[in-house]
Structure 1
Amino acid sequence: MARISTKTLSRYLFQGQLPRRGCLSLWQAHSSIRPCPVASIPSARSLRQLRTDASLTQRDPAPVHVPLRKQLKDEAKKAKASGKKKTKNVDNQVVDGWELTVGIEIHAQLNTARKLFSAATTSFNDQPNSHVAYFDLATPGSQPIFQKETLIPALRAALALNCDIQPVSRFDRKHYFHWDQPSGYQITQFYEPFARNGRIMLQPRDGIAAEDGDGISIGIKQVQMEQDTAKTMAQPGDVQWVDFNRTGVPLIEIITLPDIHHPATAAAFVRKVQILLNAVDSCVSGMEAGGLRADVNVSVRRSDDPSAPLGTRTEIKNLSSFKAVEDAIIAERDRQISILEAGGIIAGETRGWSIGSTETRRLRGKEGEVDYRYMPDPDLSPVIIGDDLVSHLRTAMGQLPDAEVDELIQEFGITSKDALSLVALDGGNRIEYFWNVVDALSARLGFDSPETLACYQLAANWILHELGRLTASHQTDSAQPLEFTPEGQCERVPVKHLVDIVISLHQRKITAKVAKELLWVVYRGTIPREYASVREAIEKENMWFQELSEAEYEVLARSAVEGQDDVVAQFVDCKQYPTGKLMFLVGRMMRLGPEEKIDPKNAESVMRRFLKTYVVELKSKPS
């Protein structure tokens, strides 16, 4: 069952020496005209003061960052105070008499060592302005130099999205003025992108709306490469700090066709794209870390005339979570329908969305298509992509998430929910850990035996659920993350230790309670050094499961029902025992006896048999 990880393969492509760090200090751009101290570099001119007048820009200043958890808490408090109750989204996918149409644009940061057109290193959470080249600042005389290695993750992404790779693509200039774009234009691929005509299939297990039935195919118009802008950080007193580390970081923009008609399906699409990009090691991080952002275009029209043109669309910018995608679409759909039913007209405009909100807000108008004065970039040559490179990358991509989920469901009997979670968790690293456990179990027990298959399923359950409980806050104040590597290793819970625990538990040599205690000991690194393995620790510490005899079980069962005549009376003349009451009595057995010697299933069986005779005794007693 050997597998080649896509992430492992990618590390061997286009590796090179990282460029030297720059030495720029943090720059400030004030919103009023006054001198602004700027750090200088050799031969670089001072930047002019930039105004924040809204009439000069089409981009909004970045808001002060507020942690997502705090945003959700604050919005929940506001909603509770207002007394409004939100409709569950599952019941809010369709409005009778209206058809919703959604198109999505996704911007994803590519996983590259260098920027798109300069040798500066890509930087995340480093010292501001420490990774900046002359071209990133549009220094006069500097020229863009396309970094060929940035094309590799972009191609992997396009192939994962089932796109046709274009043999020739070109870069264009998109002109607009804002302080986060010092050149006055962004380099993108508007006319001739490197990939077109993609398609993604979504299934019910992906979380699509029930109205989309057994699945939906969503077309991708094109995928284009482009450069990111600088990062603006709002400060008190009308001051904006600008970090140019992000300028020129390579992005891909994924543009869909207007094939989406339900909010939940839109969110499922963005989630699926994130999973695919991560699986082929194209994207730096997901929405939760800011590495992927979504803009949605929303329009409505009456459903009684399918031939009518689509309604006027509005664009909701910079959605940062899957839930935000769904909630914002619902809110904007309802706003547009309300206006149209009142006889109004939908204005083409750009709108914003705040987490936990119930309404979108207007950012700026679009009285027509914005004239970005696109033009071919005269400083950049066409990008020629050979068929041999595309063929190599397609062959080396390995198994994509859908195929992996299908294998987990069909060959291992894992539920679709658990299979999807295994594939998505820890950036795909946890499923690699699972495959390593599978290989180790196969080596110990052999392939394809019923016992091995049962151990696979038990291992999947423990990797998904029990390992997650280790880092729960109630366990310890100093819980450490498990940190799975791309190769599927985990230093805190090595594969060999988990395999020992799973096999011992399945073979009923230890109880579930002992197994969980052993896992906790492994996680904390407190297994005595003289033990080479968990199996040896079980042996030396005499943790073997020594189950009670049948007679001892019956004694416990009788003790459990003593004084519980009211409960036992509910089993008289019952064709089917009430489950809740039965498990109540089994629970008493577990508490009264030595738990480490009791098998819950056997305890339940004994209790069922005991009740048959005990109920007869109870009925024969004089009233």
Structure 2
Amino acid sequence: MARIPTAELSRYLFAGQIGHRGCLRASRIRIAPTSSSLQTRQFASHVESQAPTATTVPPTPLRKQLKEQAKALKASGQKKKKKVDNQTVPGWELTVGIEIHAQLNTARKLFSPAANSFNDDPNSHVALFDVAMPGSQPVFQPETLIPAVRAALALNCEIQRVSRFDRKHYFHWDQPSGYQITQYYEPFAKDGKLELLARDGIAAEDGESITVGIKQVQMEQDTAKTTAQPGEVQWLDFNRVGVPLIEIITLPEIHHPATAAAFVRKVQVMLNAVDACVSGMEAGGLRADVNVSVRRTDDKCGTLGTRTEIKNLSSFKAVEDAIIAERDRQIAVLESGGVVEGETRGWAIGSTETRRLRGKEGEVDYRYMPDPDLGPVVIDLPLVQYLASSSGLAPDAETDQLIEDYGLTAKDAISLMALDDGARVQYFYNVLDALEQKLGSASVDTIAVDRGLSTLAANWCLHELGKLTELSNNLGMTHKGECKVPSADLAALLYHLHRKEITAKVAKELLWAIFRGEISQGGVTEAIEANDLWFHELSEKEYSDLADQVVEGEDKVLGEFLRFAEGKGKAYPQGKLMFLVGKVMRAGPEQRMDPASVERVVRARIDEVYIPGLKSKE
């Protein structure tokens, strides 16, 4: 192989330029511009003179992408099956293995002292080793091991006392050295398992629970971040080079797409619970590759079919949809007499089929070899014991507590645990703590006993806060469970709502005002007083008079209640009752009426006045 001139190597490392000589196709690659950094002044001088004239295209929100793709699918006349009907194909067995790459929550990179940044200016945290400068060598940063071991323990893995690093060779513009340092042969953790329950969203075919084996968890370095620009231009951000990752490799024991998505979702929750991961899939801190194969259920040889790998899935929905699409593609190939090729495939959000990227690399292609610049990593047992004892409450145990002690549904409990990388459930606890102080309870456990109150808090922490994100995706939620709506202010809102001192409509309007910064922190009660938003409820007599006024002439509707009272109806006509409640709410002063009180009064008038009246007419 010809020696690359130093000048050409320098142009590639600093300016992303690749010589055209000997290339099959010219491609333009540039380093993403950076504003300021002492470390990267050497990069900036090369970049400024080559800044592309094309403007950066702002990313399209995920929700908008899905809506546009759904419209396109509908216009084409195609129909997607419901996922509940799409978990199996008669006569075929699906097998899935998953590889999850999670960015560790550390201050430094894996083999250099450069900062582990996530959203800082491009190329502002780059050490010499990160860009493979000649003469630079990797120096293992011991602190990166702490979150890695926590993650492995959460996944019930056996921590290996000695592990070693290997070089995985491949050539791409996002990997300056031409190889990735990983732990292929001797990883730091092996033989784990993760139990998935029905409430986690597994396929109905898997029953109440399923246990997925984890082959190994290994540490490795990340690559540069590539951002596509118009005109076949690629921007490179070397901040991400060398960022510490763990790769979680499962055994091929998953047989339904929904279960695969549930596994990835639960892994994210587990990593957040032990503070091992920087962020979730939506923010790019966790990515999944899935290996998919199919075989006929009557196949007697017992071997799995040829597998294909779908790379870089960035959402739980993408995991499930991509597996379904690839399974169906492989089945169609085999049923037509073809042969499934082992290859790497890609997936785009909202797609209906996977696409070929390249042939599948194997162990020989990557030319794995022990890294000669790095010694073994030795993990002492006392460290493992300390990290295991300080991990706190497991996610499944906390979910059980939310369901049993706080009265939440399984769906709401799991949502609280998963949202905002686990910070939303902490926000929920903060709201309950603030409510405790306002109600003068002895402890937060007293509130937990009042399931109505804890359910009210959960509904607002989930659904009403969720409505705020429809216009703004950024609640500003911190890992301490605080956001643009301070937990103390939401607690004040719920305190007045619980005591029926304000209506739900007023509470929702105040929530928006807090979110927009129109109410200063701690000023909820003052805002209610200043704008005279207190709830002055109608008296019992006023409710009854209004109900009599509205129900008059509704003999046909009242006849349904009479039929039920006489034992002719199968169920109480709740729908008819709510119809009358709605009429009363529209007829009276809404700001002075409580829907629960209206329902109670209307039902009482029906039972005590109208039904006896109808019977007397008979």
TM-score by length of 2: 0.84
Query: Structure 1 residues 75 and 573 mapped into 2: Cα distance closer, same or farther (>3 Å)?
Result: closer
What displacement does 1:66 show? 6.2
Mind listing any 5+ residue stretches in structure 2 that lack a counterpart? 1-12, 34-39, 47-56, 566-570
Q: Which residue pairs with 1:385 in the alignment? A: 379
CA deviations 1:228-273 (Å, max 9, x no partner) are 1223344455544433222211111110001101011001111111
Q: Which residue pairs with 2:453 in the alignment? A: 455
The DSSP-based 3-state class of the residue aligned with 1:128 is coil
Q: What letter corresponds to residue 573 of structure 1 in structure 2?
A: R
Q: What letter corresponds to residue 426 of structure 2 in structure 1?
A: E
What displacement does 1:365 show? 2.3
Quick check: 1:465 aligned with 2:463? yes
Q: Which residue pairs with 2:538 in the alignment? A: 548
CA deviations 1:511-564 (Å, max 9, x no partner) are 4344444444544454589xx764566678776554433332221111112354
Query: Structure 1 residues 604 and 116 mapped into 2: Cα distance closer, same or farther (>3 Å)?
Result: same
Q: CA RMSD in A?
A: 3.3
Determine the C-alpha separation between the residues in 2 that align with 1:311 and 1:357. Answer: 24
Question: Would the aligned equivalents of 1:294 and 1:318 in 2 still touch at CA under 8 Å?
Answer: yes
Determine the C-alpha separation between the residues in 2 that align with 1:333 and 1:118. Answer: 41
CA deviations 1:445-476 (Å, max 9, x no partner) are 23455874432232222222233334543xxx
Residue correspondence of structure 1 range 297-376 to structure 2 within 5 A: 297-305=291-299, 308-366=302-360, 370-376=364-370
Q: Which residue pairs with 1:150 in the alignment? A: 144
Question: Would the aligned equivalents of 1:455 and 1:503 in 2 still touch at CA under 8 Å?
Answer: no
Determine the C-alpha separation between the residues in 1 that align with 2:177 and 2:456. Answer: 57
Q: Which residue pairs with 2:163 in the alignment? A: 169
Which of 136, 141, 153 is matched with 1:159 structurally? 153
What displacement does 1:482 show? 3.6
The DSSP-based 3-state class of the residue aligned with 1:371 is helix
Aligned residues: 574
Question: Would the aligned equivalents of 1:433 and 1:488 in 2 still touch at CA under 8 Å?
Answer: yes
What displacement does 1:321 show? 1.4
CA deviations 1:21-78 (Å, max 9, x no partner) are xxx96534476569999999889xx9xxxxxxxxxxxxxxxx9976544543443243
Residue correspondence of structure 1 range 158-307 to structure 2 within 5 A: 158-305=152-299
Quick check: 1:559 aligned with 2:557? no
Q: Which moved more, 1:539-548 or 1:402-411?
A: 539-548
Determine the C-alpha separation between the residues in 2 that align with 1:149 and 1:566. Answer: 74
Q: Which moved more, 1:230-239 or 1:341-350?
A: 230-239
Quick check: 1:488 aligned with 2:481? yes
What displacement does 1:599 show? 3.2
Determine the C-alpha separation between the residues in 1 that align with 2:248 and 2:584. Answer: 59
What displacement does 1:380 show? 0.5
The DSSP-based 3-state class of the residue aligned with 1:412 is coil
Question: Would the aligned equivalents of 1:226 and 1:252 in 2 still touch at CA under 8 Å?
Answer: yes
CA deviations 1:191-241 (Å, max 9, x no partner) are 111111111110111110000001100011001111112233444555444
CA deviations 1:359-393 (Å, max 9, x no partner) are 22222224865422211111111111111221222
What displacement does 1:569 show? 4.6
Query: Structure 1 residues 134 and 438 mapped into 2: Cα distance closer, same or farther (>3 Å)?
Result: same
Determine the C-alpha separation between the residues in 2 that align with 1:423 and 1:328. Answer: 25
Q: Which residue pairs with 2:596 in the alignment? A: 601
Q: Which residue pairs with 1:507 in the alignment? A: 499
What displacement does 1:406 show? 0.8
Question: Would the aligned equivalents of 2:165 and 2:181 in 1 still touch at CA under 8 Å?
Answer: yes
Question: Would the aligned equivalents of 1:110 and 1:282 in 2 still touch at CA under 8 Å?
Answer: yes
Q: Which residue pairs with 1:404 in the alignment? A: 398
Determine the C-alpha separation between the residues in 2 that align with 1:185 and 1:91. Answer: 43
The DSSP-based 3-state class of the residue aligned with 1:573 is helix
Query: Structure 1 residues 306 and 264 mapped into 2: Cα distance closer, same or farther (>3 Å)?
Result: farther
Query: Structure 1 residues 316 and 508 mapped into 2: Cα distance closer, same or farther (>3 Å)?
Result: same
Q: What letter corresponds to residue 486 of structure 2 in structure 1?
A: V
Question: Would the aligned equivalents of 1:353 and 1:360 in 2 still touch at CA under 8 Å?
Answer: yes
Query: Structure 1 residues 572 and 468 mapped into 2: Cα distance closer, same or farther (>3 Å)?
Result: same
TM-score by length of 1: 0.83
Q: Which residue pairs with 1:127 in the alignment? A: 121
What displacement does 1:591 show? 2.4
Mind listing any 5+ residue stretches in structure 1 that lack a counterpart? 1-23, 47-62, 474-478
Q: Which residue pairs with 1:27 in the alignment? A: 16
What displacement does 1:163 show? 1.0
The DSSP-based 3-state class of the residue aligned with 1:434 is helix
Query: Structure 1 residues 329 and 558 mapped into 2: Cα distance closer, same or farther (>3 Å)?
Result: same
Q: What letter corresponds to residue 549 of structure 1 in structure 2?
A: S
Query: Structure 1 residues 368 and 291 mapped into 2: Cα distance closer, same or farther (>3 Å)?
Result: closer
Q: Identity across aligned pairs (percent)? A: 66
